[in-house]
């Protein structure tokens, strides 16, 4: 373990410890000593189990009749099985709700409607051309989606996209003209704080919906949602331009708000041009959304070997089990949380790689982690990884451990 590796405190682990103990005991009966060792392995050495804290949780679970003690070993009771099953079902329903394509599309649409109205109202009363332009940008996105939907219903998707693109370009030109006319006589921005808060809220919400659509689109392999997520990600930049314009206006440079309006108009025209280009590709028999989806898919499949290797080694470091049992655990630990929906061949390739590199081996029908596998597990846990917030120091952290543990 590296000297600079963060060590977790008892209070950080305490909330999830009871559930962890129940899952470990469900996997197989364990003595207190064995449970302490498995807990150390679960946290990849990042937490040295506190014997007294573990005893307190074991006593509580016995008092709740979730476990019982036979000689020196703890066993799960029927009530304990029921408690874990109920929790698993709740988690499954919550994940299903979060990964519903219909729910994601509906939340995104109504979110855009609310943001557009908010920006337009605040932009009107504050006099910010940038906010009004961004409100129109958001509203046009809703209209463009509606036009596309109508086109799909009428089996005229390409024609609808072409119409939407022309409309977008026209609106973009109009907003650009209005913004440029205010360069010489920029309006003073009223209620500046509220205007700034409005655009900040817009950026935060659009950032969330971009991530949400990427996640649901990847989990459900939805080409349209992933393409829409890329579009929402682009919209954030136009909102950032408005934010800069409003900050400049609040510092005594009101012309920057007009500049922001012009910048947003450019984003609108670019969006219109993309729709026109995509409509031409559709008419030629191509699917422009597929290219974006393939880019997204490949980016995540590239990190799957290391992520999958870590999960398999992490599970086998806790307990030996058959290939089928291990693969089922991997599906529950990794498959339910990986950004894209995985197929059986994806899991099979992970095991093939690990056997080929001598990180695991089969003995009497059980998969066993090798010493080289344990060293690889430690290396992967400490490997820096990219996240949506930049580069994170270690792949494994406390939140991720507890998330993975839900599948044990």
Predicted pLDDT of residue 389: 40
CA distance 47 to 396: 13
CA distance 158 to 279: 5
CA distance 159 to 82: 55
Instruction: Name which CATH class applies to 303-405.
Output: mainly alpha
pLDDT < 50: residue spans in the chain: 1-4, 148, 151-152, 387-391
H/E stretch holding 303: none
Question: How would you class 261 by CB atoms within 10 Å of its CB: exposed for 0-12, middle for 13-18, buried for 19 or more?
Answer: buried
Long-range contacts of 226-235 (CB under 8 A, 24+ apart): 226/289, 226/292, 226/293, 226/296, 227/288, 227/289, 227/292, 227/293, 228/108, 228/145, 230/292, 230/296, 231/141, 231/271, 232/108, 232/206, 234/267, 234/271, 235/137, 235/138, 235/141, 235/206, 235/267
Predicted pLDDT of residue 259: 82
**352-377 tens-digit pLDDT:** 999 999 999 998 889 999 999 999 99
Predicted pLDDT of residue 186: 62
Structure tokens at 71: 């000689």
Query: Where are the CATH 1.10.10.10 domain residues in the chain?
Result: 10-98, 303-405
CA distance 358 to 369: 9
Global confidence as pTM:
0.71
The alpha carbon of residue 103 and the mean position of all alpha carbons in its chain are separated, in whole angstroms, by: 16
Predicted pLDDT of residue 317: 92
Predicted pLDDT of residue 2: 43
Q: How many CB atoms lie within 10 A of CB 141?
A: 22
CA distance 221 to 101: 10
What is the CATH number that goes with domain 101-297? 1.20.1510
Query: Where are the CATH 1.20.1510 domain residues in the chain?
Result: 101-297
Cβ-contact 40, 81 below 8 angstroms: no
- What architecture is domain 10-98? Orthogonal Bundle (1.10)
DSSP category for residue 388: T
The alpha carbon of residue 144 and the mean position of all alpha carbons in its chain are separated, in whole angstroms, by: 26
* β 73-76/30-31 pair status: antiparallel
Residue in 307, 404, 346, 343 with CA at minimum distance from that of residue 221? 343
Q: Sort residue 212 into left (φ over 0), alpha (ψ -120 to 50) or beta.
A: alpha
Structure tokens at 59: 């006593």
């Amino acid at each position: 373990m590296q000297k600079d590796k963060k060590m977790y405190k008892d209070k950080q682990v305490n909330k999830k410890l009871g559930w962890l103990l129940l899952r470990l005991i469900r996997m197989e009966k364990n003595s207190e000593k064995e449970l302490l060792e498995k807990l150390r392995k679960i946290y990849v050495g990042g937490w040295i189990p506190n014997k007294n804290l573990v005893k307190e949780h074991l006593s509580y679970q016995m008092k709740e009749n979730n476990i019982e003690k036979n000689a020196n070993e703890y066993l799960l009771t029927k009530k304990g099985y029921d408690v874990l099953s109920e929790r698993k079902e709740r988690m499954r329903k919550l994940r299903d709700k979060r990964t519903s394509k219909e729910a994601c599309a509906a939340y995104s649409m109504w979110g855009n409607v609310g943001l557009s109205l908010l920006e337009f109202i605040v932009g009107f009363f504050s006099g910010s051309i940038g906010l009004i332009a961004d409100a129109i940008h958001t509203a046009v996105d809703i209209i463009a989606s509606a036009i596309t939907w109508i086109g799909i219903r009428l089996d005229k998707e390409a024609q609808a996209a072409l119409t939407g693109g022309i409309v977008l370009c026209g609106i973009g030109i109009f907003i650009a003209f209005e913004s440029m006319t205010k360069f010489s006589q920029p309006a003073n921005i009223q209620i500046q704080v509220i205007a700034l808060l409005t655009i900040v809220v817009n950026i935060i919400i659009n950032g969330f919906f971009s991530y949400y659509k990427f996640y649901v689109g990847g989990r459900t392999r939805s080409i349209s949602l992933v393409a829409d997520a890329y579009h929402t990600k682009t919209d954030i930049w136009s909102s950032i331009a408005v934010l800069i314009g409003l900050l400049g206006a609040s510092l005594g440079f009101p012309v920057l708000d007009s500049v922001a309006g012009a910048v947003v108009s450019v984003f609108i025209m670019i969006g219109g041009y993309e729709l026109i280009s995509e409509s031409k590709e559709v008419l030629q028999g191509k699917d422009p959304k597929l290219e974006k989806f393939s880019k997204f898919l490949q980016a995540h499949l590239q990190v799957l070997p290391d992520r999958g290797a870590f999960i398999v080694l992490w599970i086998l470091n806790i307990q030996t089990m058959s290939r089928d049992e291990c693969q089922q655990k991997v599906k529950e630990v990794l498959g339910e949380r990986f950004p894209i929906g995985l197929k059986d061949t994806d899991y099979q390739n992970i095991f093939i790689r690990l056997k080929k590199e001598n990180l695991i081996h089969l003995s009497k029908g059980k998969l066993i982690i090798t010493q080289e596998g344990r060293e690889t597990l430690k290396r992967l846990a400490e490997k820096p990884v990219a996240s949506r917030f930049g580069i994170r120091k270690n792949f494994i952290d406390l939140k991720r451990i507890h998330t993975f543990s839900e599948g044990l």
